[in-house]
Chain A
Amino acid sequence: MKAEKSKQNKNMLEIKSRTENLAAIRSFINSAATEAGLTKEVIDNIILAVDEACTNIIKHAYKYSPDGRIIITLKPDKKTFTVEIIDYGKSFDPNIVPNPDLQKYVDQGRVGGLGMYLMKTLMDEVKYYSVPGKFNQVSLSKYINSNGR
């Protein structure tokens, strides 16, 4: 059943916009980053950043509609480990999302922007590119040195 929902090879995973797929996304990143020889700490950070990016796509770009396409492509090389994520949902302007203010969230009982903040903090580079009505792309990069750190 899972095979019908997703397409996968070593450096690419195409999966539907469902929160139940987050576990499969994390496991895909874990295998690839482990194979690339990264340290556990770096791998954990990349996994969380990709989870946050995909959660935002499911929630905001596809607004929980379960059949949107998410395409995750890995571009590992000697100096950087890059994860590129494409969706075909609603575009947004990343520049208008403010950094989180925890006290305000507590006062208002609502949250938002935590995921983007974590992505920026955990990765070395986060780039957004959108062609509204066509596709959105977020590209998450981690610089690696010879020790995998």
Chain B
Amino acid sequence: MAEFSTSVSDKGEISTIYLKGFLDAHTAPMLENTISGLIDSRKYSIVVNFQELAYISSAGLGVFMAFIEKVRENAGDIKLSAMSDKVYNIFDLLGFPLLYEIYKTEEEAINKFKETKNLES
């Protein structure tokens, strides 16, 4: 059963991970591999697009927690975007909005990275 998949698209220095399907304890390792791959390629400006994600359990949320420190240590960030209300509600219940930037659209998340980079240069 193809219950979960990820794909990555690079726009300049920013990488977007697209999530599709059901993210649970069984499929979370696939997302770990995707994020590890980006970090190994020294890509630390990461946007995650949740638009096609139908379901998430705490195992899925745990993946974002496992990598955020490493990414931020390298002057990057993982910005989350385009969540359905159902998925956002789970992030909200666990207090994620305090620690992660969550945007309505992928574009907003990308623009935020660009603004930050412009300020730095």
Contact = CB atoms under 8 A, between A and B. Distances in A.
Interface residues of A, number: 27
Given A55-B59, A102-B99, A106-B99, 15 more contacts: A22-B57, A23-B3, A23-B22, A26-B22, A52-B58, A55-B57, A102-B65, A105-B65, A106-B65, A107-B69, A109-B66, A114-B62, A115-B57, A118-B57, A118-B58
B57 A100 contact: no
B95 A22 contact: no
A18 to B, nearest CB: 8
16 contacts: A19-B24, A19-B26, A22-B25, A48-B57, A51-B25, A52-B57, A55-B25, A55-B59, A59-B25, A102-B98, A107-B69, A110-B65, A111-B61, A117-B94, A118-B57, A118-B93
Question: Interface size for chain B: under 10, 10 to 19, 20 to 34, or 35 or more residues?
Answer: 20 to 34
A20 B26 contact: yes
A143 B25 CA distance: 27
Interface string A111-122: 100110110011
A106 B59 CA distance: 14
A110 B66 contact: yes
A51 to B, nearest CB: 5
Nearest to B3: A23
Contacts of B14: none
Nearest to B85: A41
Contacts, number: 72
A111 B93 CA distance: 15
A44 interface: yes
A106 B90 contact: no
Which of A58, A105, A122 has the most CB atoms of chain B within a 10 A radius of its CB? A105
A60 to B, nearest CB: 12
A9 interface: no
Q: Which 3 A-B pairs have the closest CB atoms?
A: A19-B26, A114-B58, A111-B62
Contacts of B70: 109
Contacts of B55: 26
